[in-house]
Amino acid sequence: MTFPACTDIENPLEDISSTSQSEQPDSHKDSVVDTEFSRRTFVKTTGILSAALATGLPQLATAQDGHAAAASTPHTMSLTLKVNGTSRALTLDTRTTLLDALRETLALTGSKKGCDHGQCGACTVLVDGRRINSCLTLAVTADGAEITTIEGLAKGDTLHPVQAAFFDHDAFQCGYCTPGQICSAVALLNEHKHGALSAVSFETGSTTKPELTDNEIRERMSGNICRCAAYPNIVAAVRAASKGATA
Amino acid sequence: MNPFNYQRATAPDQAVKAVSASGAKFLGGGTNLVDLMKYNVEHPTTLIDVTHIPFDQIAVNSTNAVIGAGVRNSDLANHEGIRTNYPLLSHALLSGASAQLRNMATTGGNLMQRTRCYYFMDTAFPACNKRTPGSGCAAIHGFNRIHAILGASNECIAVNPSDMSVALAALDATVHVTGPNGKRSIPIGDFHRLPGTTPQLDTNLKPDELITAVELPASKFAKHSYYLKVRDRQSYAFALVSVAAGLEMDGNTIQSAGLALGGVAHKPWRSPEAEKFLVGTIVSPDAFRKAADLAVAGAVPRSDNAFKIELAKQSIVRALTLAAQGVQA
């Protein structure tokens, strides 16, 4: 099994590959292709290559667009992301999404890349306390914002109440969508506490402080798809967390 | 995605000046534009981020409501004055997308949403007059289940995907814009375009004009309105058909009506004929069926979407019935 060397990738992605290599165990440091190629290394390497394709290598973009050579020159910007309470100064290609910055540059791989088009919710994080899709958020637009990812919810070894509820209610199977589901549910409870409505509130005529019924939870969590269909347990976990929060 | 320069604007005139550069576009919440850039459908060389312009205010009083173009969809839907006086708008907004996307999307950006026609979104299909003028329309003889039944042309049968804009049409909104030649106001009915021979143009907004606010006239439908959205799944999907219905009632008699459809045309499809017919009528299933016939008159089905005609009629009757009952108030 051979993989293209990361150095084949154009300049804008070199930072990403070097960051990722530095996260690997020492034995893997010198070469991505290794006889003891771990699953994580495999995932990370293919992830980098997929990211490269998704971002669009400059030469591909130029060929397809027919833009002048100048249009294919990457633009980089310096910015600061305050992630889980820590300020991180970064210099990124303007095309970098917040999701890619978190995963590939800051090595916070809890937030997941599912569809990469705002259709699945696996990338959900909190920006200034509000849930958003980090895959459709350009990192440069989050300059100076407070970002909370799944890694920032627990306090030391004490799980966030929503994390604990997901654990107690077995609200997952494969777990890939779970970080997004949990971040989304944390925001949901906060929105509900502040009286936010959903489409269901209007359909049921409960437009003043609607009770968080199962139908309300399903509607408010509809931006997070679970391919394993663990929905009944996800609803149960959110319901339990909501009761705990108000007790 | 092609490389691009990123700039933050903090004032409307600054943004308008910056967007005059070749290949520049405004960036709002990015939920649609960034997605289309990933698909290589849009390839701006400069993005002017307009979310730092301080037009994120909402002012509601007895004569009108003024909504800043930068107000996020979730904030607009949950604003006390909007929720109370214009529940139709809140209901429509909350029927669209997901909580995450509504937290990102702006009022101005929602008005500028582009179609979700599969053929427009996928550059593997060379024919799309909206993406590449003159290249043809792959949808007309393709899989066109989600496409237009009203106001389409032989050049394009795409539909506008917005829920918010359908409510704005029924509420008779006005869009305020600013550009190099100053400010102007565009009635919502003239903001979006029918495809005609120029489907590449979604709206009558000029490329160097910036939406600054949306204005609503005094609320008439606060007690009797309903936004009905029919789609392939219960949540987080675009409308096959949607109906924004608002009624001003005196007992069982309709004093005035606002009626617009989504998912059926290249723009929110408001029906002045149906609205006019409803004035002075007594609430009844027959009256609502007649209004539905008027609203969908002239519909032209394609190979896969004939079901939308009956679906639209039934949806109109249901939305008007629920509006008359005042279930939303």
Mean pLDDT of all residues belonging to chain A: 80
Note whether B263 contacts A: Cβ–Cβ < 8 A.
no
Contact map slice: B 71-100 vs A, CB within 8 A? 74, 77-78, 83, 87, 90-91, 94-95, 97-100
Residue in B49, B70, B55 with CA at minimum distance from that of residue B7: B49
Domain stop point among A69, A85, A115: A69
- Reported as a single tens digit per residue, the pLDDT across B43-98 is 999 999 999 999 999 999 999 999 999 999 999 999 999 999 999 999 999 999 99
- The CATH number of the domain holding residue A139 is 3.10.20.30
Residue in B25, B199, B205 with CA at minimum distance from that of residue B120: B199
Residues A166 and A146 in one domain: no
- Reported as a single tens digit per residue, the pLDDT across B160-197 is 999 999 999 999 999 999 999 999 999 999 999 999 99
Q: What is the mean pLDDT of residues A59-77?
A: 61
Taking the alpha carbons of A134, A139, A140, A144 in that order, is the dihedral positive or negative?
Answer: positive
Output the six-digit token pair for A51.
């990211």
Q: Measured between beta carbons, which residues in chain B are less than 8 angstroms from residue A185?
A: none
- Reported as a single tens digit per residue, the pLDDT across A116-157 is 999 999 999 999 999 999 999 999 999 999 999 999 999 999
Q: Does A1 reside within a domain?
A: no
**Options 3.30.230.70, 3.30.390.50, 3.30.43.10, 3.90.1150.10; CATH of B5-51:** 3.30.43.10
Tally of domains in chain A? 3
In DSSP notation, A137-168 reads SBGGGGTT-EEE-GGGTSBTTBPPHHHHHHHH
Contact flag A199-B95 (C-beta cutoff 8 Å)? yes
Domain stop point among A69, A88, A113: A69
> pLDDT band at A34, cuts 50/70/90?
very low
**What's the 3-state SS for B259-283?**
EEEECCCCCCEECHHHHHHHCCCEC
How many degrees, rounded to 5, is the angle at CA A68 between CA A66 and CA A70? 140
Angstrom distance (rounded) from CA A111 to CA A179 = 6
Angstrom distance (rounded) from CA A165 to CA A230 = 14
Contact map slice: A 100-129 vs B, CB within 8 A? 116-118, 121, 124
Mean pLDDT of all residues belonging to chain B: 97
Residues A125 and A106 in one domain: yes
Residue with the two structure tokens 């089905």: B301
Note whether A77 contacts B: Cβ–Cβ < 8 A.
yes
Contact flag A56-B95 (C-beta cutoff 8 Å)? no
Domain that holds residue A118: 75-152
pTM: 0.89
Q: What is the mean pLDDT of residues A68-85?
A: 87
In chain B, where are the structural domains located? 5-51, 225-325
> pLDDT band at A72, cuts 50/70/90?
confident
Q: In A152-208, which ranges are continuous DSSP H helix? A: 161-168, 178-193, 199-203
Q: Do B152 and B266 touch, CB atoms closer than 8 A?
A: yes
Q: What is the mean pLDDT of residues B249-271?
A: 98
- Reported as a single tens digit per residue, the pLDDT across B273-315 is 999 999 999 999 999 999 999 999 999 999 999 999 999 999 9
Q: Is the ipTM of this complex over 0.85?
A: yes
Chain A: closest CA distance from residue B95 (Å): 5
Q: Does A15 reside within a domain?
A: yes
Angstrom distance (rounded) from CA A163 to CA A155 = 11
**Options 2.40.50.90, 3.40.50.720, 3.30.390.50, 3.40.30.10; CATH of B225-325:** 3.30.390.50
Residues A82 and A130 in one domain: yes
Residue with the two structure tokens 């604003």: B79
